[in-house]
Structure 1
C-alpha cells in the first residue's frame, strides 16, 4: 500500500512542534507497512516562493505555496499507484478544490483524508488573513465533501463541512520527550507555559490574576515561566510592567532542546490554553497538554479536554471566561498534588498514566485502521467524480 502525506509545513524544522507531529504521523503509516511519499514546503520552487513573499501579503503567499504543492503532487507523483492522500489542512481556496477534483479524476479509487487541526477556526485569525483568506476558505469549504472522504478532527464533531469525521485525540511521541528531572530543588511554586503566543492562549488571565492577588504570589513564591513569542508577547510584558510583577514572571523567548528542558526541570505545573472560548472552541484535544503530561507535569486548562472525563487527579480546569485566574485555587491545586509526596514519583506516575492514552501510535491507530480497511488496491472504482 502506498500513500502521500501533503502539508505546507517544512518538516525539516525540528524546533517546530507541528513538524515533529507530522513526522510522527508519517512514522505511524510507515510502521504499518505503508510506503509514504511526502509533499511539503521543501518541494516549493524556492526562487518563486521568496520573490512572491517580498511582493505580496503573507496570506497570498500561503495560498500560492499550497497551489504550487498541489501542482507538484499532481504532476510529479503517479497518483494511479497511490491508495490515499493525507492532507493537513491549511487555508482552503478554489485552487485546492480544483486540485482535489483532479486527484479524484486521475484515480477515482483514491481515499482523501483531510486533517483539520483546530475546529472551528474562523475566529483564530485576525488582520488581513481574516479579511482576505477566511471568505475564500468559506466559499471553498462548501465543496470539500465532494472530494474528501473523511475529515480527521480533534473535536467532538461527527461531521465537518458535510463530511463525516474520524475523531481522535492529539498524541505525541513519548520517546522524543524526556521526563522532567525533579532533582532540582527550588523554592516556591513554578508554572510554565510553552506556546507561540496568541490571544486565544489567554495567559493574560493568569497575569491579571497574579496582579490581583500579589500578596499570595509573594508569600508562596509563585513564578510564571513564559516560553515562546508571538503577537501577544508585548501586551503580556506591559501587564507585568504595570503591575510590577518582574520578579514573578520570566519571559524566556523561544527555547527548544536542552535549554527548554532546563526550564521544565524547574517547574511544577503546566499551563494549557486559558482562552479558547475567545475563538468559539469549547472542546480541544490540545497538543501542548500532552507534552506537559509526557514531561510529568500536572496541568491547568481553560478548555474541556479528554482529561475532564478521565477523573485525573493531576488535572484542573478553570472556567472558560475572561475572569482573572484565581491564584488561591492554583496554590490549593499545587498542594493537593505535591504535599507529602515524592515529586519524582508524581512526575513518573503522570507520564506513565498519560502514555497509555496519548502515546502517538495509540491515538493515530484509528486513522491507520481506516485506511487499511477502506483504501483499495485497484486503480479505479465504478463511480463518477462529482462535478
Structure 2
C-alpha cells in the first residue's frame, strides 16, 4: 500500500473566538483533503504557540513573544518553514488576503523542502481593492494615521511580493469574481464550502406566533444589517401580522452603531445582541430561528458575486436564508433562498414574512437544504476541484 501524500494548510489564524468561523473553514478544508486520501494537517496560532493539527492530534511549537505584527509573522513563517524542512509536503495551501513577504517565505520553504510540492495561495476576497479603499476611507474619516500607514505598508508589501510570487506558487484560489490568472499565476475561482457532517441538522423549534431572524456578524463590516433594522421599523409601523424579532451574533466594530440604530428606531424590544457564540451555541440558535441573514451590503466594497462561509453553514444546518449578492449556485428558484437587491434600500420585512411562511409549509425543507449543501458545497467537493486544477 502506497504512503499517503502529505498536505499542509499553512495558516496563521488565531484560535480566539472572533476567528472561530475562519478556523472552522480551515479545519473543514483540511478534513476534505483527508477524505480525499491525503495525510492532511493545518496550522493555527494560540498565544505564543504555533499549533499543527492532524485529525485529533495537536502539536505545539512555541515562538518568542512579539509586540509587532511583522515580528510575529516572521517567527511563524520560520516555524512553518522548519516544519516543512523536517516533514516535506506534496501540497502546501497558504491562506491570505493581500500577499506579503511571509507568505513568500512559506512558499519558498515548501519548494526547497520538496521541489515537486504544489503550492496554492488562497485569496480570501477577489477583487480585493474595494475592501482596501474602504480601509483607507475609514482611516481618513477617523484621522487614524497609524492605521492608514499600516494599510499603505500592506499594499506596498503586496506589490513587492507579487513580483516574484510566481516562482514559488503554482495556483491561486479566489472566491468572488472570475479570473483566469493573478500575478502571472493560473487561478481557479471556487465557491466557499462547509464540512456538512460537522454541523447538526436543525430541529425547528422557532415559535409559530412570531418570526425570528438570525444574523452572524463574524469579522465582516459590510453585513448591511442596518437594512434589516430600517425594514423592521417600517414593518412595525403598519404591523398587523406576526411580530418580527432579530438576533445578532458577534461583536466587531459595527455592533455599537447597530445598537445605537436599534434604539433610535424604537426596536429595543425586538433586537437582541448576543455577542460571540461557539459552534454548539450557534447550532442551538439555528434551531430557534426561522431564517439566517447573509451579507446585505457588499455594494460598499464593489462586490456583487460572493459565497460567504456563513451562508454555507446555514445551508448545512437546514436554515433558510436571505442575502443581497450573486451566488453561482444559490438561485432565486430554490425554496430555501430569498435574494434582495445589492443596494442600501431597507429590507422588505413583509417579503421576509411571506418567505418564512412558505418555508414553514414544507416540513422536509431542512433535509432538502442540507442535501443540497452536501451535493454542492461540501469541502471534499471544493478541494477536489482545486486538486484537479493544480495537477
Q: TM-score, normalised by structure 2?
A: 0.82
Which of 1 and 2 has higher RCO (CA within 8 Å, sep 6+)? Answer: 1
Query: More helix by proportion, 1 or 2?
Result: 1
Corresponding residue of 2:364: 345
1:122 touches 1:134 (CA, 8 Å); kept in 2? no
**Most deviating of 321-330 and 97-106:** 97-106
Classify 1:352/1:105 alpha carbon distance in 2 versus 1 (closer, same or farther; 3 Å). closer
Matched, 1:26 2:30: yes
Q: How does 1:40-119 map to 2 (within 5 A)?
A: 40-41=44-45, 42-43=49-50, 48-49=64-65, 52-53=66-67, 56=68, 61=69, 63-78=70-85, 81-97=88-104, 100-101=107-108, 103-105=110-112, 107-119=114-126
CA deviation profile, 1:173-208 (whole Å, cap 9, x unmatched): 111111111245342111111122543111111112
Structure 1: gaps spanning 5 or more residues? 375-387
The corresponding residue for 1:302 is 324
State which drifts further: 188-197 or 6-15. Answer: 6-15
Equivalent of 1:276 in 282, 286, 298: 298
Equivalent-residue separation in structure 1 for 2:78 and 2:43 (angstroms): 11
Task: Compute the displacement of 1:355 (Å).
Answer: 2.0
Determine the C-alpha separation between the residues in 2 that align with 1:258 and 1:94. 37
2:210 to 180, 188, 204: 188
Root-mean-square deviation (CA, aligned residues, Å) is: 2.7
Query: 209, 233, 244: which is aligned to 2:266?
Result: 244
Secondary structure of the residue aligned to 1:21 is: helix
Query: C-alpha separation between the residues in 2 aligned to 1:4 and 1:258?
Result: 27
Instruction: Return closer, same or farther for 1:353/1:90 CA change in 2, 3 Å cut-off.
Output: closer
Conserved 8 A contact 1:277-1:321: yes
Determine the structure 2 residue equivalent to 1:377. none
1:149 matched to 2:156: no
Q: Tell me how far apart the structure 2 counterparts of residues 194 and 272 of structure 1 sit (CA, whole Å).
A: 8
Q: How does 1:260-271 map to 2 (within 5 A)?
A: 260-271=282-293
1:135 aligns to what? 156
Q: Does 1:124 align with 2:131?
A: yes
User: In the alignment, what sits opposite 1:164?
Assistant: 186
Residue number in structure 2 paired with 1:361: 380
More displaced stretch, 92-101 vs 110-119: 92-101
Question: Residue 226 of structure 1 corresponds to which residue in structure 2?
Answer: 248
The question of 1:253 aligning with 2:257 is answered: no
**TM-score normalised over the length of structure 1:** 0.83
Query: SS in structure 2 opposite 1:133?
Result: helix
In the alignment, the residues of structure 2 paired with residue 80 and residue 181 of structure 1 have an alpha-carbon distance, to the nearest angstrom, of 44
